[in-house]
Amino acid sequence: MNQKSTIFTISATALGILIMVFILFFNHARRNADNNRSTEITEGLDLNFSELPDTDIPLIDDSASRSPFASSALDALRKLLAALAADSSAIRREVILRFNNEAQYNEFLKTLTDRNLRLLGNSDRFMSMRIGFENYGDLFSELANLDPSSYEVETNFLVSLPGQPGTGESPGAGDGAIPFGRDALKLIGIGEGNLEFGKGIKVAVIDSGIQEHETFSGKNILEYDLVRDANGNSVPIDSNNGHGTAVASIIAGSDPRYSGVAPAAEILSYRVLDNDGYSDSYTLAEAIIQAADSGADIINISLGSKGDSGIVRRAVDYANDAGVLIVAATGNEGVNSISFPAAIEGVVAVAANDALGQHVDFANSGNNLQDGGITAPGYAVWAAWPEGEAVSFSGTSASAPFVSGAVAAVMSENQGMSAISAYELLQNHSNEAGAPGNDIVYGTGNLNLGRVLERNVPDITDAGLASYYYDPASAELGGQSNTAQVVIENRGTTALHNLTVEVESGSAERTYNVSFIPVGEIAVIETPVGFSSGVTEEGLPVSATVIVNQNLNGEDRDISDNSFRKNIELDSSKQP
């Protein structure tokens, strides 16, 4: 939103021309009782303002029109209103003003009480302030006196909890999804003896606040409450507001009934969501900055927004520059679009899977998954809830803290390792899933902390049947509409030789040989799908099994992942 400086003086003739431009653009004029001329700026624009109430229609009066920078202020106002019309998450009657000049920032801040604006928050670090106002005419009047080269106007967006899977616009997990229950830690490779995981590591939880629970016994949770009412007063947290409590318990709970991934981690709680589950971009950015300044190694954000906020991006950059890893949920709308801040470069986007490692329908997908994201448990995992209760917790809100806890565990088990390096290990040792390589659905694959912890243990033989992947659109585009890909992964610490892979599709059976797979690598077998036979109403039943030659490789230590069975559908939109 960079604007070039334009300085000019409006003469009587220029004023007349400006009024004519207003009329041409907005096709409506009003006159008040004292003959001040004001012009509606929404009429005639090619924008849909039907959702804006009449009280939101801004008026520009004659005196403001004579201000030195009226034209630039009008341009800024039009862009703001365009954002309001285009995005339902854009918050009305407030903006974020970002100054490029420290002197003008301080001057504006000092004289704010003399203006028709309300200060809702300010950041000296970013020379930004969150401003509220009663009508857009007041905002225009103030901007019309500011040199446009000294500031930028940004939209403040609504931030909220991801939708509850299976309710409202959020789909359920999908047919055949298997809940984790109490087995989530086991299925990401954690056995007994993890009580010291996370020791010495600080994890910030930006959420709805963390309430007392026995799973946090003996843990000193540092609380920072950023929620305020319209008068700036603190707002007590409702006893049934348990989202942040559940998230924190997955990271660092110590109750053996639903132990966290890294029980010894230190937790910093930043409450940004009110009791209805809402916040805003400015408050989220404020929490990120405070967490980084407080020495957090990892920041978990199990909430999101549809709006791409400039101040949140700057906060992410600030935290990244300080070496802080930010982990965020992709969202639960089941769409090919990731929520912010998970969609921002430099943030680890986390999608959700079930107990079989399958993508669940509600988890959003998108580019930032492919560019460095990951998938973790997110369907019916046990978590703590206020007043000593436990709940079956679903959503990418649950998935993100598994990753945050895993990073803390790797850091504590490798003294001196940075959060970014710890996460890279988790990426490199994730279980392949979906399309071969990184993809927009699973990212680098499914979280497997156990593989990281055992990466230096010699001679582990572990072959995994990663996926049977068929996407009709991609197959047709590649000129192989009847071809699927069977993906085998070496999840052990020794090379695999001469594996036998049996594939069944419809009524056809085929056998393949894979001669060699290096440690941590995959082999891809292209095989006919066989739609000519075996298709049912549920789709085409397919299965694959990898058989390890024990004489050459030793015994496969985990055969639970050596077989795969599913029904594939012709509809590419349903392919994980």
Quote the tokens at residue 188: 């990401």
Q: Kind of pairing, strands 389-393 and 222-225?
A: unpaired
Tell me whether residue 305 is one of the annotated catalytic residues.
no
Catalytic site residue from 213, 243, 359, 429: 243
- Answer for the pair 157, 91: CB distance below 8 angstroms, yes or no: yes
CA 495, CA 313: separation in Å to the nearest integer? Answer: 42
CA 327, CA 199: separation in Å to the nearest integer? Answer: 19
Tell me whether residue 429 is one of the annotated catalytic residues.
no
- Answer for the pair 553, 516: CB distance below 8 angstroms, yes or no: no
Peptide bond into 341 cis (omega under 30): yes
Catalytic site residue from 150, 397, 412, 467: 397
DSSP state of 237: P
CA 339, CA 316: separation in Å to the nearest integer? Answer: 15
| Element holding 118 (H helix, E strand) | strand 118-123
CA atoms within 13 A on the CB side of 574: 12
Tell me whether residue 397 is one of the annotated catalytic residues.
yes
For the chain, counts of helices (H) and of strands (E): 15, 25
Name the percent of the chain in helix, strand, coil, to the closest 5.
Answer: 25, 25, 45
Catalytic site residue from 71, 128, 207, 404: 207
> How many beta carbons lie within 10 A of that of residue 243, not counting itself?
22
With CA atoms as reference, report the closest residue to 22 among 68, 59, 76. 59
- Answer for the pair 425, 410: CB distance below 8 angstroms, yes or no: yes
> Mind spelling out the 3-state secondary structure of 257-310?
CCCCCCCCCEEEEEECCCCCCEEEHHHHHHHHHHHHHCCCCEEEECCEECCCCH
Q: Kind of pairing, strands 508-517 and 496-505?
A: antiparallel
Residue ranges of alpha helices (H) inside 111-232 are: 136-143, 184-187
DSSP state of 198: T
Amino acid at 361: D
Main-chain phi, psi angles of 26, to 5 degrees: -115, -10
With CA atoms as reference, report the closest residue to 445 among 393, 521, 558, 506. 521
- Answer for the pair 263, 252: CB distance below 8 angstroms, yes or no: yes
With CA atoms as reference, report the closest residue to 324 among 314, 316, 336. 316
Amino acid at 129: M
Main-chain phi, psi angles of 95, to 5 degrees: -140, 170
Query: Which residues belong to the active site?
Result: 207, 243, 397
